[in-house]
């Protein structure tokens, strides 16, 4: 493949600007602030645990922590590990939500003693979905995710409208039997993860189990927004986010959004370069972020893009703003 020489679009690193807001929040609140932000293409993942540890490993464990979360989800098992780590390094954990806190990010919030929500903040249901090696394929020849709720609803509709009482032979023509089993297993895992995360601060096991079951089965869609009143009715310790703090988090989110904007450079109609920043974890005087750095080539015969020349990496900036430079942070 002959690559046309062109200038690669690179997203900005706004360490100085984000540090200014973090320091202002800590000064006004007297509470340590830990920020966790995902772009549209980012997600909660296992590598995040190491990044969190690098930031908080030397923190005083008798202090309170504000955990600012903005994410549309990811790996629930990673959420459990992150909460386990944070609970070991804090006296009291307070989740502060300015906007989106969905799916596995909702699991993160469940691990906090208190959840402070702003006017546009929302949690979501935790209906399990997964992409299996045997999942159905979409028009781009990519595997699609299948959720427990979708399967349950299809079977329920089948029972209501079909005369044939056994839907599975027909469904197996579209969804492999192993996918059914994998989704059912993942659903059980999701309920257990929620219960285990709540148990870090909720001593009433029955209440924790009820909240977990509701989040996993009582809502009509995976992305259903659970706002302040409904979150409170679930039995969670929900409080209103301070207005001034909410405004500062909006400013911080805008800066992270600028850092995490899509950074695609087109070579031609079948080739482009991706340089997007996806995950950002930051506290006072330290920022760790994951930046994609790879080419994508569209293979016509397979009807899909394949990655090439992948130099994606985690980066760490520490020290005083204005002097610090990003350095590769080795996680795995």
State percent of the chain over pLDDT 70.
92
| Confidence at residue 135, expressed as pLDDT on a 0 to 100 scale | 73
The pLDDT of residue 124? 95
Q: When comparing pLDDT for 322 and 214, which is higher? A: 214
pLDDT reported for residue 23 = 97
The answer on pLDDT for 256 being more than 80 is yes
* Residue 214: Cβ-neighbour burial (10 angstroms; 0-12, 13-18, 19+): middle
What is the 3-class SS of the chain, one letter each residue?
Answer: CCCCCCCCCCCCCCHHHHHHHHHHHHHHHCCEEEEEEECCCCCECCHHHHHHHHHHCCCCCCCEEEEEEEECCECHHHHHHHHHHHHHCCCEEEEEECCEECCHHHHHHHCCCEEEECCCCEEECCCCEECCCCCCECCCCCECCEEHHHHHHHHHHHHHHCCCCCCHHHHCCCCCHHHHHHHHHHHHHHHHHHHHHHCCCCCCHHHHHHHHHHHHHCCCCCCCEECHHHHHHCCCCEEECCHHHHHHHHHHHHHHHHHCCCCEEEEECCEEEECCEEEEEEECCEEEEEECCEEEEEECCCCEEEEECCCCEEEEEECCCCCCCCEECCCC
The set of residues, in sequence order, having a beta carbon less than 8 Å from that of 117 and lying 6+ positions away, is 97, 227, 228, 231, 238, 239, 240, 241
pLDDT of residue 140: 65
Could you report the per-residue pLDDT of 38-91, keeping only the tens digit for each? Answer: 999 999 999 999 999 999 999 988 899 999 999 999 889 999 999 999 999 999
Which of 172-176, 258-262, 265-269, 299-303 has the weakest average pLDDT? 172-176
Q: Cα separation of 149 and 218, whole Å?
A: 10
Instruction: Name the pLDDT band for 332 (thresholds 50, 70, 90).
Output: confident
The stretch 273-296 carries a mean pLDDT of: 97
Domain residues of the chain, as ranges? 15-127+219-328, 131-184
pLDDT at 184 over 70: no
pLDDT at 103 over 80: yes
| pLDDT interval class at 22 (50, 70, 90) | very high
Question: Cα separation of 172 and 5, whole Å?
Answer: 48
Place of tokens 């370069």: 273
Report the distance separating Cα 295 and Cα 286, nearest Å.
29
The chain-wide mean pLDDT, for the chain, equals 89
Distance CA 31, CA 24 (A): 11
pLDDT for residue 220 is more than 60: yes
Confidence of residue 187 (pLDDT cuts 50, 70, 90): low
pLDDT attached to residue 229: 96
Residues contacting 127, CB < 8 A, separation 6+: 147, 148, 149, 216, 217, 219, 221, 222
pLDDT tens, position by position, 123-166: 999 866 667 676 777 766 667 777 666 777 777 777 777 656 77
Percent of the chain with pLDDT over 90: 68
pTM: 0.87
Tell me, what's the pLDDT at 158?
75
Angstrom distance (rounded) from CA 242 to CA 232? 17
Q: How far is CA 243 from CA 240, 249, 251, in A?
A: 8, 10, 13
| pLDDT for position 127 | 67
Fold assignment, 15-127+219-328: 2-enoyl-CoA Hydratase; Chain A, domain 1 (3.90.226)
- Give pLDDT, residue 4: 53
**Confidence bin at 246 (pLDDT 50/70/90):** very high
Q: Over 80: is that where the pLDDT of 264 sits?
A: yes
């Amino acid at each position: 493949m002959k690559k046309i020489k062109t200038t690669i679009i690179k997203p900005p690193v706004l360490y100085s600007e984000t540090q200014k807001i973090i320091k202002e929040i800590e000064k006004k609140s007297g509470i340590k602030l830990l920020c966790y932000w995902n772009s549209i293409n980012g997600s909660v993942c296992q590598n995040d645990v190491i990044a969190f540890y690098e930031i908080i490993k030397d923190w005083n464990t008798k202090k309170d922590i504000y955990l600012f979360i903005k994410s549309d989800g990811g790996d629930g098992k990673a959420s459990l590990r992150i909460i386990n780590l944070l609970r070991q390094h804090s006296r009291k954990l307070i989740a502060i939500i300015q906007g989106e806190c969905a799916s596995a990010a909702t699991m993160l919030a469940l691990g906090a003693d208190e959840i402070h929500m702003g006017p546009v903040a929302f949690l979501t249901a935790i209906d399990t979905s997964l992409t299996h090696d045997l999942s159905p394929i979409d028009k781009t020849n990519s595997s699609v995710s299948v959720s427990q709720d979708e399967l349950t609803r299809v079977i329920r509709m089948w029972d209501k409208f079909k005369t044939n009482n056994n839907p599975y032979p027909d469904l197996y023509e579209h969804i492999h039997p192993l996918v059914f089993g994998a989704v059912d297993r993942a659903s059980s895992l999701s309920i257990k993860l929620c219960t285990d995360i709540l148990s870090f601060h909720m001593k009433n096991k029955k209440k924790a189990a009820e909240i977990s079951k509701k989040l996993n089965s009582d809502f009509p869609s995976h992305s259903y927004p659970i706002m302040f009143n409904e979150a409170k009715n679930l039995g969670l310790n929900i409080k209103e986010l301070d207005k001034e703090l909410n405004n500062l988090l909006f400013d911080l989110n805008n800066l992270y959004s600028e850092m995490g904007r899509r950074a695609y450079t087109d070579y031609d109609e079948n080739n482009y370069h991706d340089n997007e920043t996806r995950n950002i974890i930051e506290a006072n005087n330290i920022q760790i972020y994951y930046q994609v750095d790879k080419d994508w080539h569209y293979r016509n015969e397979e009807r899909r893009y394949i990655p090439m020349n992948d130099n994606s990496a985690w980066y760490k900036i520490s020290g005083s703003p204005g002097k610090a430079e990003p350095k590769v942070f080795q996680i795995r």
